[in-house]
A and B are shown apart, each in its own frame.
Chain A
């Protein structure tokens, strides 16, 4: 079981309040991703749940039990760190067995569980090596192995993939998702990478300056962002945000349209502009289009190969049904 409830949890470092009172419930078995720009408080929030930081107010409950003052060692949670944080003086076997040793399990049971975890993570051949003799991906697997052996009520991941190279990152992302499918244990995952958030999460929590901007499934956030911040943060490339006459026309202060919801034509359309930089990815082509009277270019997506070049005139037609409208406070207009 691993239901985690935050009740008016607050954190201040001295005078600076990094997390104003915040409520959040994480259901048992859920894969929740905390995402936000750096400094938004997502790691602090995770550390509060872990018990590595003390809350300044409010209550944290794990499976209904008040865990606010419980030291990290006795919260029954496991954590995977960005730096892996393996014990350099211990072999892989001893690293993975460490939590079991701390829990006082007998040697036979330790061996059984360590070997089980090593098999799942393809580490069997490396059990007697030291962390220093492993690659980044293998180290991360050891860190995950150390987390899974003790069958915690929830896993906490603090940007676990940001030290890996891009190719490995995609692979490990899948492995962690598969692990979640198999174990069905609650996972809380912190990242600044919205692609990781979109691909892995059951539920995304978007944070900014310690505030929860929106909580929802990846597609909820994509289709109905609650405000301008979430609209701009979720989705890649970013949503185009327009103010001025285009917004006025649609009865809003800001309107947003995603690059993939704009039709491209060489002949006719609602808006006319000039092609700036174009990015050809093969499957897609992204054009950065300069509209009259707008300093920032608009990003649009055209499927496949489109033969428009730098300086060409381009006509754009936004899909009006998929236009997002926001008021003066930046909140979504239904």
Chain B
């Protein structure tokens, strides 16, 4: 691992890495900074970086004008709900594809993935009309259901990859030891797959949390999550930059914090099997 590299070059690479990382992070940083400015400072030219009067005014106004907690709750319910429902469907599906594959298993996996290539907007109206017909438009239930379906291919694929790493003989040993299918999945497969399941869950929560197309088009008030909360502050007229920034910061903060604490798990999860 320790490859000899001249100090100079190492310093250069480190600096380059930091520059790229900061460039990528800059818009988020700018949003967070702007959220603490007054509207006037927010659009000041030349822009003010750190030397301004910090204020919490925007957060107060945003909280006053719209009920942040309600949006937050909707986001949590939709992200966790669709993840839980997805797991309940995906664990048995991935189990059967990994351990009792049939002739068409590979085709099914590819077909599932291919559904991700479909432009979502192509089915917007059918889905909207169905939901209206069923009286489910602007309900959390509908969003949980739709986001589950959207993310299911990814969940199944990820779990399938993890399960494939588990030697089949161990499951056979469990069968010989008297375990039925339920005991085999509960006591042997799941504990062994915990790291994989954990990263699948994390990734899916993030995907569901960030999903904007369906959450914006299928909700109005009741089921609107944080994506709708942000969108409601983007207006073509008036001074809204600081407030929009405050709303954005509040919307991304939970997922950013979660991502920060679970980054090790996420990276391990996404590269699982690739490095061994």
Contact = CB atoms under 8 A, between A and B. Distances in A.
B195 to A, nearest CB: 11
Contacts of A39: none
Given A98-B177, A102-B177, A150-B178, A88 B169 contact: no
A89 interface: yes
B17 to A, nearest CB: 35
Interface residues on B, range: 10 to 19
Contacts of A72: 172, 175-176
Interface stretch (A5-13, A73-81, A181-189): A73-81
Contacts of A81: 169, 172-173
B169 A85 contact: yes
A281 interface: no
B136 interface: no
Interface in A8-53: 50-52
Contact of A89 (B173, B176, B183, B191): B191
Contact of B188 (A73, A77, A79, A87): A87
B169 A83 contact: yes
Contacts of B188: 87
Given A85-B167, A87-B188, A88-B192, A79 B176 contact: yes
Interface residues of A, number: 25
B179 interface: yes
B101 to A, nearest CB: 13
Contact of B173 (A77, A85, A150): A85
Contacts of A102: 177-179, 183
Contacts of A74: 178
Contacts of B173: 79, 81, 85-87, 146
Nearest to B166: A88
B170 interface: yes
A72 B169 CA distance: 13
A315 B175 CA distance: 59
B176 A77 contact: yes
Interface in A94-137: 98-99, 102-103
Given A79-B173, A86-B170, A98-B187, 6 more contacts: A52-B172, A72-B172, A73-B178, A77-B176, A83-B167, A85-B170
Interface of B: 167, 169-170, 172-180, 183, 187-188, 191-192
Interface of A: 50-52, 71-74, 77-79, 81-83, 85-89, 98-99, 102-103, 146, 150, 156
